[in-house]
Structure 1
Amino acid sequence: MNTCQVRLQAREEVAGGTMAFHFQRPTDFAFKAGQAIDLILPAAVAADGANQRHAFSLVNAPFENELVIATRMRDSVFKRALKMFPIGGQVEIEGPFGSLTLHNERARPAIFIAGGIGITPFMSVLRQATHDRLPQEMVLLYSNRRPEDAAFLLELQNLARQNANFQLLPTMTEMDKSDRPWQGETSHISKELLRKTMNGLQKPVFYAAGPPGLVAAMREVLNRVGVNDDDIRSEEFYGY
């Protein structure tokens, strides 16, 4: 893996308590949609070496000319340092790494299951697939508590309109705590919802990303509806 210096170019809030950070992209930095990097803050900023490094999936697609990560802004040493890091300041990145990339057998659909900030690797994949006009069926089950918590929801809705091969199925599980209207799904991702999603799709490959509890639960539910472990790819997001 390569290590290089990059500058922070911008930051923005993309959902309640979730921020995206935009970094300069080195001209020779190549990666596959769905991969990740380690972000390494200067030791003087991170307070101690143990809180200096964190892995993040890249939100941006390979065709885009920047590097973008997104994260829940938890009250940790690393997150506090990242939030206060000056625009124009330099950090190190190491990577890319990770295998949560789209399979090459285009005749087989992809079903993505994202919980909360687990959406980040799938944003990269979906942006690239839409840009390339990829002839592959893709479905995203995206679970959040409320619309306020759903990072990139508006962009995903736009991608679904642009890409006839992409179907977005978001669900909000705590609408009693929301101030926004919602006409969509409100259940947790269950066997019934998965069966309905799979209906009519031939030999799909499943991808799950999010908190460890969600990923473990999704693998178990997928097994219950007859999906073989060989057709499930997953990534657990710790400390997001």
Structure 2
Amino acid sequence: MPSSTDNTQAQLPTAVIGYPSKLLGRADVAKGTMAFQLEEPPNFAFRAGQSIDLSLVGLAQDSPHRLTHTFSIASDPSDEEIMIATRMRDTTFKRRLSQLPIGTEVRIDGPMGSFTLHNNTARPAVLLAGGVGIAPFLSIVSHALKKGLHYHIILFYANRQLEDAAFIDALWNLERTNARFSFAPTLTRVNGNNGEWNGETGHISPEMLRRRVGKLQGPIFYIAGPPAMVAATRRMLVEAAVDEDDIRTEEFAGY
């Protein structure tokens, strides 16, 4: 589940409120990845990059397993529905969620977290996503561009193969229509893409970052993805002389 570290972000409110909601829809958004649309409760408000706890109400009594999980919100705060996305691993929670009838009541607790954009728009935001770690960044990028915020945002998005890359078409479209947003997807297993890929290849590296960003001292870096990816990427940035106070992270354990 998402868990974040942040050394420089202003503290956000910590109060967490529970809301009734409903499952409105689901869709495959990449190989093994699904997005779920949830009814946004009245008076529910969040900042782009925050997360929620989703509980499958009414099912806990007949299951010995925990039926609550934390998800980053992938939708824009101005959207009429809440969207989350997850890798569909073989767990009790995800099996239940994938089979839940549309219209079923669920519970949302939140919002939570401080994985949100910094306040100084003069400093570029460099977003580093691995796999389903793209979820909070889709929310952040969509919101910043829709509101016309004056950030220069560069998003690096690592996946094994093109078919694994959730929301990649939406992100390409955002880049085409917004001069302040640069999108750099990269694939780590190019041989499995049948010659369809002409973009970046390999894991996110200092060389890749410098080609797109230039000097690495100055931007604020955000990392979201599986724990091993987050740890390795953070270590890479520190070794490239990025100040640790300029690095913010969100881990997606088990997702």
TM-score category, normalised to shorter length: over 0.9
Where in structure 1 are there 5+ consecutive unaligned residues? none
TM-score (norm 2): 0.91
1:209 to 221, 224, 228: 224
Provide the residue aligned with 1:165 in structure 2: 180
Paired letter, 2:158: S
Provide the residue aligned with 2:7 in structure 1: none
Provide the residue aligned with 1:80 in structure 2: 95
Alignment of 1:87-236 (within 5 A): 87-179=102-194, 181-199=196-214, 203-236=218-251
1:64 to 67, 75, 79: 79
Indicate whether 1:25 and 2:40 are aligned.
yes
Paired letter, 1:101: T
Relative to structure 1, the CA distance from residue 200 to residue 77 in structure 2 (aligned partners, 3 Å threshold; closer, same or farther) is same
Report the Cα offset of residue 239 of structure 1. Answer: 1.1
RMSD of Structure 2 on Structure 1 (CA): 1.5
Mapped partners of 2:237, 2:251: distance in 1: 16
Relative to structure 1, the CA distance from residue 181 to residue 45 in structure 2 (aligned partners, 3 Å threshold; closer, same or farther) is farther
Report the Cα offset of residue 50 of structure 1. Answer: 3.5
Report the Cα offset of residue 192 of structure 1. Answer: 1.4
- Comparing 189-198 with 103-112, greater Cα deviation is found at 189-198
Report the Cα offset of residue 163 of structure 1. Answer: 1.2
Tell me if structure 1 keeps the 8 A contact 2:154–2:213. no
Paired letter, 1:219: R
Mapped partners of 1:42, 1:5: distance in 2: 9
Tell me if structure 2 keeps the 8 A contact 1:45–1:81. no
Mapped partners of 1:178, 1:132: distance in 2: 36
- Comparing 39-48 with 173-182, greater Cα deviation is found at 39-48
Paired letter, 1:123: L
Mapped partners of 1:216, 1:201: distance in 2: 18
Tell me if structure 2 keeps the 8 A contact 1:106–1:136. yes
Where in structure 2 are there 5+ consecutive unaligned residues? 1-15
1:64 is paired with a residue whose SS is coil
2:59 is paired with a residue whose SS is helix
Mapped partners of 2:88, 2:208: distance in 1: 30
Report the Cα offset of residue 224 of structure 1. Answer: 0.8
**What whole-Å deviation, never above 9, does each CA across 1:29-83 have from its counterpart, x for those lacking one?**
0000000000001242685354211000000011111111000000111110100
Relative to structure 1, the CA distance from residue 136 to residue 32 in structure 2 (aligned partners, 3 Å threshold; closer, same or farther) is same
- Which of structures 1 and 2 has the larger relative contact order (alpha carbons within 8 angstroms, sep 6+)? 2
Paired letter, 1:31: F
1:134 is paired with a residue whose SS is coil
After the TM superposition, which segments of 4 or more aligned residues of structure 1 sit over 4 Å from their partners? none
Relative to structure 1, the CA distance from residue 111 to residue 89 in structure 2 (aligned partners, 3 Å threshold; closer, same or farther) is same
Residues matched between the structures, number: 240
Paired letter, 1:149: D
Provide the residue aligned with 1:15 in structure 2: 30
Relative to structure 1, the CA distance from residue 55 to residue 46 in structure 2 (aligned partners, 3 Å threshold; closer, same or farther) is farther
Paired letter, 1:111: V
Report the Cα offset of residue 175 of structure 1. Answer: 1.8
